[in-house]
Amino acid sequence: MPSAHLPPAPVADLLSDTLTKPTPGMRAAMAEAVVGDDVFGEDPTVRELEEQVSGLLGHEAGLFTPTGSLANQLALRLHVAPGEEMLADELAHVVRAELGAAAAFSGITSRTWPSDRGRLDPAAPLRLLATGVGPYQVCTSLVVVENTHNFGGGTIQPLAAIRAVRAATQPVGVRMHLDGARLWNAHVATGIPLDDYGREFDSVSVCLSKGLGAPVGSVLVGSSEFVAQARIWRKRYGAGMRQVGILAAAGRYAVEHHLARLADDHERTARVAVACANAAPASVDPAGVETNILMLDVAACGWSPGEFVAAAGARGVRVYAAGPRSVRAVWHLDVDDAATDHAGRVLATLLAGGGRESAG
Taking only the tens place, the pLDDT of each residue in 120-173 is: 999 999 999 999 888 889 999 999 999 999 999 999 999 999 999 999 999 999
- Contact between residue 357 and residue 351 where contact means Cβ atoms under 8 Å apart: no
Tell me the per-residue pLDDT of 259-309, one tens digit each, with 9 for 90 and over: 999 999 999 999 999 999 999 999 999 999 999 999 999 999 999 999 999
- Contact between residue 141 and residue 86 where contact means Cβ atoms under 8 Å apart: yes
Q: What is the mean pLDDT of residues 85-92?
A: 97
d(CA 211, CA 51): 21
d(CA 205, CA 74): 10
Q: Are strands 326-330 and 320-321 parallel, antiparallel or unpaired?
A: antiparallel
Query: For residue 238, what pLDDT band results from cuts at 50, 70 and 90?
Result: very high
Alpha carbon distance, N-terminus to C-terminus of the chain? 26
Question: Which pTM value belongs to this model?
Answer: 0.94
Domains of the chain (ranges; CATH) run 24-256 (3.40.640.10), 261-353 (3.90.1150.10)
d(CA 32, CA 259): 22
Examine the pLDDT at 10 and tell me if it is beyond 90: no
Q: What is the pLDDT of residue 356?
A: 58
Query: For residue 358, what pLDDT band results from cuts at 50, 70 and 90?
Result: very low
CB burial class (10 A; 0-12, 13-18, 19+) of residue 90? middle
Going by the DSSP 8-state scheme, the letter that residue 148 receives in this structure is S
Query: For residue 7, what pLDDT band results from cuts at 50, 70 and 90?
Result: low
- Contact between residue 65 and residue 49 where contact means Cβ atoms under 8 Å apart: no
User: Over the range 264-301, which residues count as b (16 or more CB within 10 Å of their CB) and which as e?
Assistant: bbbebbbbbbebbbebbeebbebeebbbbbbbbbbbbb
Examine the pLDDT at 244 and tell me if it is beyond 80: yes
Query: For residue 359, what pLDDT band results from cuts at 50, 70 and 90?
Result: very low
